[in-house]
Amino acid sequence: MRTAARFGALAGIGVLAACAPAPTPGSAPGLPATPARPTPAVSTSPPTPACSPEGIRITELGVDAAMGLRAMGLELVNCGDRPYELRGYPAPSLRDADGNPLTVQVIPGARPITAGFDQPPTRVVLRPGERAAAALLWRNLVTDPTVVASNGAHLDVAPLRGRPTYPVELDGPIDLGNTGRLGVSAWKRYDGPSATKPPAPSDLPSLPPTPDSRL
């Protein structure tokens, strides 16, 4: 394919040369009037979210999926200049593609959804540059065909209930089916790979090895 494309490009250059006007006296044949400037490369890396007024940044670590169970990692970075304390669970909310809020039952610990995310919250104090992580859990499950399935196109997360909420960019929708339930694990200190690169599924915090098929 590359050879054919290259041949086509060369053939196109030949046609353009045959159709070009004759060079004017004093100009070198075959040379453009002005040199072409290289086009700067366009970066495909997503921009890093700005540091919030309270000195934190929340980003997605990626999603792991198995047997309808979804687990999304969240990373919180202390990008401020003073210690930041966490004790509890993130407070997520979802909006549809039009920005309308979705009715979602947020479950601390996620026990009705799956096992393995029920460690109680502990006090975490992050110094500048340190990170914490938590996970969101849900099942893409349709239990009632008369209820419209929910797809969260936009995610907003407060580090703790009652604190300011920040938008978190998603790689894909949060497909709750029609369960309307979203579990959360408690924040804990995190030293794994940063959200600046795509994570492997095994990098997600507190991911249980296998989902409980009885749920």
20-61: pLDDT as tens digits: 344 444 444 444 444 455 555 544 455 667 899 999 999 999
Q: Is residue 173 part of a domain?
A: yes
Q: Is residue 42 part of a domain?
A: no
* pTM given for the model: 0.68
Q: Is residue 16 part of a domain?
A: no
Query: What is the CATH classification number for the domain harbouring 127?
Result: 2.60.40
Alpha carbon distance 68, 141 (integer Å) = 7
Q: Is residue 161 part of a domain?
A: yes
Task: Give me the DSSP letters along the chain.
Answer: -HHHHHHHHHHHHHHHHHHSPPPPTTSPTT--SSPPPPPPPPP-SPPPPPPPTTSEEEEEEEEEEETTEEEEEEEEEE-SSS-EEE-S--EEEEE-TTSPBP--EEEET-TTT-SS--PPP--EEEPTT-EEEEEEEEE-B---TTSPPEEE-EEEEESSTTSPPEEE--SS-EEEET--EEEEPPPEE--S--TTSPPPGGGSTT--SS--TT-
The pLDDT of residue 31 is 46
Q: Is residue 51 part of a domain?
A: no
185-196: pLDDT as tens digits: 999 999 877 654
**What total number of domains does the chain contain?**
1
Q: Is residue 26 part of a domain?
A: no
The band of 137, judged by pLDDT with boundaries at 50, 70 and 90, is: very high
Q: Is residue 33 part of a domain?
A: no
Domain extent for 134:
56-196
Least confident of 16-30, 54-68, 127-141: 16-30
Nearest Cα to 89, choosing from 116, 119, 61, 115? 119
Q: Is residue 44 part of a domain?
A: no
Alpha carbon distance 175, 147 (integer Å) = 14
Report which of residues 28 and 80 the model is more confident about: 80
Alpha carbon distance 196, 49 (integer Å) = 10
